[in-house]
Structure 1
Amino acid sequence: MSIKLLTDSASDLPLSFFQENNVGFLPLRVSLDNQEFLDLQTIEPASVYEAIRKGKMPKTSQAAPTTMYEVFEDIAKSGDSCVYLAFSSELSGTYQTAMMIREELLEKYPDFQLEIIDTKCASLGQGVVTYYAAQLLQQNLSLVEMTEKIKQYALHMEHIFTVDDLDFLAQGGRVSKASAFVGGLLNIKPLLHVEDGKLIPIEKIRGRKKVFKRMLDVMEERGKNLSSQTIGISHGDDLETALQLKEMIQERFGTKHFIINIIGAAIGSHSGPGTIAVFFLNETIE
Structure 2
Amino acid sequence: MHVKIVTDSACDLPKSIYKDYDIDMAPLLVHLNNQDYYDGKTIEPKTVYDAMKEGAAPKTSQVSPEAFLDIFTSYVEQDQPCVYIGFSSELSGTFQSATIARQQILDDHPDAKLYVVDTKCASLGQGLVAMRAAQLAKEGAEVEKIVETAEYHAKHMEHIFTVDDLEYLQRGGRVSKAAAFFGGLLQIKPLLHVEDGKLIPLEKIRGTKKVLKRMFELMELRAHDINNQTVAISHADDLQTAEKLAAMINDKYEPKEIIVSNIGAAIGAHAGPCTISLFFLNNTHV
* TM-score using structure 2 length: 0.97
**Whole-angstrom CA distance in 2 between matches of 1:100 and 1:134:** 23
1:211 aligns with 2:200: no
Give ranges in structure 1 of 5+ residues lacking alignment. none
Q: Tell me the amino acid that sits aligned with residue 166 of structure 1.
A: L
Q: How many angstroms does 1:139 deviate by?
A: 3.2
Any conservation in 2 of the 1:169–1:271 contact (CA below 8 Å)? yes
Offset from partner CA, 1:55-114 (integer Å, 9 cap, x none): 000010111322111011111111111000000000000111111111111111222111
Q: Tell me the amino acid that sits aligned with residue 25 of structure 2.
A: F
Provide the residue aligned with 1:94 in structure 2.
94
**Whole-angstrom CA distance in 2 between matches of 1:157 and 1:76:** 29
Query: SS in structure 2 opposite 1:140?
Result: coil
Aligned residues: 286
Provide the residue aligned with 2:64 in structure 1.
64
**Whole-angstrom CA distance in 2 between matches of 1:6 and 1:47:** 26
1:187 aligns with 2:187: yes
- After superposition, residues 27-106 of structure 1 pair within 5 angstroms as 27-106=27-106
Any conservation in 2 of the 1:182–1:190 contact (CA below 8 Å)? no
Any conservation in 1 of the 2:64–2:97 contact (CA below 8 Å)? no
Any conservation in 1 of the 2:91–2:198 contact (CA below 8 Å)? yes
Q: Which moved more, 1:144-153 or 1:133-142?
A: 133-142
Query: SS in structure 1 opposite 2:178?
Result: coil
Q: Identity, % of aligned pairs? A: 53
Q: Which moved more, 1:135-144 or 1:160-169?
A: 135-144
Instruction: Calculate the aligned-residue CA RMSD, in Å.
Output: 1.1
Query: SS in structure 2 opposite 1:80?
Result: coil
* TM-score using structure 1 length: 0.97
Provide the residue aligned with 1:273 in structure 2.
273
**Whole-angstrom CA distance in 2 between matches of 1:113 and 1:178:** 45
Task: Tell me which stretches of 4 or more aligned residues in structure 1 moved more than 4 Å.
Answer: none
Provide the residue aligned with 1:260 in structure 2.
260
**Whole-angstrom CA distance in 2 between matches of 1:17 and 1:134:** 10
**Whole-angstrom CA distance in 2 between matches of 1:174 and 1:139:** 38
1:8 aligns with 2:11: no
Q: Which moved more, 1:94-103 or 1:266-275?
A: 94-103
**Whole-angstrom CA distance in 2 between matches of 1:68 and 1:12:** 18
Q: How many angstroms does 1:14 deviate by?
A: 1.4
Q: Tell me the amino acid that sits aligned with residue 3 of structure 1.
A: V
Q: Tell me the amino acid that sits aligned with residue 178 of structure 1.
A: A
1:249 aligns with 2:249: yes
**Whole-angstrom CA distance in 2 between matches of 1:166 and 1:183:** 6
Provide the residue aligned with 2:230 in structure 1.
230
**Whole-angstrom CA distance in 2 between matches of 1:203 and 1:77:** 49
Q: How many angstroms does 1:256 deviate by?
A: 4.8
**Whole-angstrom CA distance in 2 between matches of 1:139 and 1:284:** 21
Any conservation in 2 of the 1:76–1:112 contact (CA below 8 Å)? yes
Q: How many angstroms does 1:183 deviate by?
A: 4.6
Any conservation in 2 of the 1:230–1:257 contact (CA below 8 Å)? yes
Give ranges in structure 2 of 5+ residues lacking alignment. none
**Whole-angstrom CA distance in 1 between matches of 2:252 and 2:191:** 20
